[in-house]
Amino acid sequence: MADAKVIPFDDDRSRGGVQRPARRRGAARRQNDPAAVREVTAMPGQQDGERPGAERAVPEASGEPVPAPGAVPGPRGGGGGLERRVAGGLAFLRRRLTGDYEVDDFGYDEELTDQVLMSLVRPLYEKYFRVEVKGIENIPSDGGALIVANHSGTLPLDGLMMQVAVHDNHPEGRHLRLLAADLVFMLPVVNELARKAGHTLACAEDAERLLERGELVGVMPEGFKGIGKPFSERYKLQRFGRGGFVSTALRTGTPIVPCSIVGAEEIYPMIGNARTLARVLGFPYFPITPTFPWLGPLGALPLPTKWTIQFGEPIPTDGYPPEAAEDPMLMFNLTDQVREQIQHTLYKLLVQRRSVFF
């Protein structure tokens, strides 16, 4: 593979819960039970004086009839829920096979992301990393916003965890569209999955189009400098570039939401970098950790650290004039403000953390 061409974003290239089924009331009651009203219904063609063919009890608390003794109840409760899930799954498969689904011009497939891709990542989010989310109220309920986060962890799992955190915790269930380096779109299979999940190339043009549509856009300006830094430099933010993300926010008038992620730095403690092998493979780095490559595939498993993702107060940009996007001093100041806010929050979360794993 040729050397990966990285296009940093700062380049100037322009669930509802399932309702618990109502508990069924017993059909058999004592005749002298005052809480039940016996109601006699005549069968069709019944003559006066004949014994009624059926009777039913109407509970006092709910007016729903209860079948008479001996009646066979229809499918209710968990059985019905299972049937609905199976029917929904079959309908989903039918739509996929017939092509009856929608993708946008970036390749984003919302239905596939919600029903399949998120479901595959969610156990890692909930059970393995046990992500705690703070400040979700700082993400707007509608309209565009640019979420800027630190980047770490050797592999970009932090972006996926942030995507699940936004979707599962935001009251509006918003989707986060991540901007990724071009290496992601050069890898087989990963390329297609990234497009389906809503990721797009980290360039100003794509970011502006998404923000103007009112989408949530996520960017990690550290890029490979952050995700591939050695373990000795953990939680020390790398350079944020020349402020390309700030310029995009200014052009679109969208707020910038700083995001700090704690826990990702320790999943693959990078103690070395095989640079020669990285150049041969066309990767920006080739990590050496205490378990990889010594333990083979087993060494590729991340450590089960405890994560915290905190979204900070948004920094508005709609008060600046249109020409502000071309002011290098303003972009430098805003970039530094975002970086300092993320770094300060990282330190604060680290002080509050009891343990790396708990």
pLDDT per residue as tens digits for the range 290-312: 999 999 999 999 999 999 999 99
Cα torsion angle, 175, 180, 186, 187, sign:
negative
Q: What is the mean pLDDT of residues 91-96?
A: 89
Q: Which residue has the higher pLDDT, 104 or 58?
A: 104
Q: What whole-number distance in Å separates Cα of residue 41 and Cα of residue 285?
A: 80
86 exposure class (CB count in 10 Å sphere: 0-12, 13-18, 19+): exposed
Report, as an integer, the average pLDDT of 94-114: 92
pTM of the model: 0.76
Q: What angle do CA 126, 139, 246 make, to 5 degrees?
A: 115
Average pLDDT of span 108-112? 94
The verdict on whether omega for the bond into residue 52 sits within 30 degrees of 0, i.e. cis, is no
pLDDT for res 79: 52
- Residue 145: pLDDT over 90: yes
Q: Are strands 36-41 and 54-59 parallel, antiparallel or unpaired?
A: antiparallel
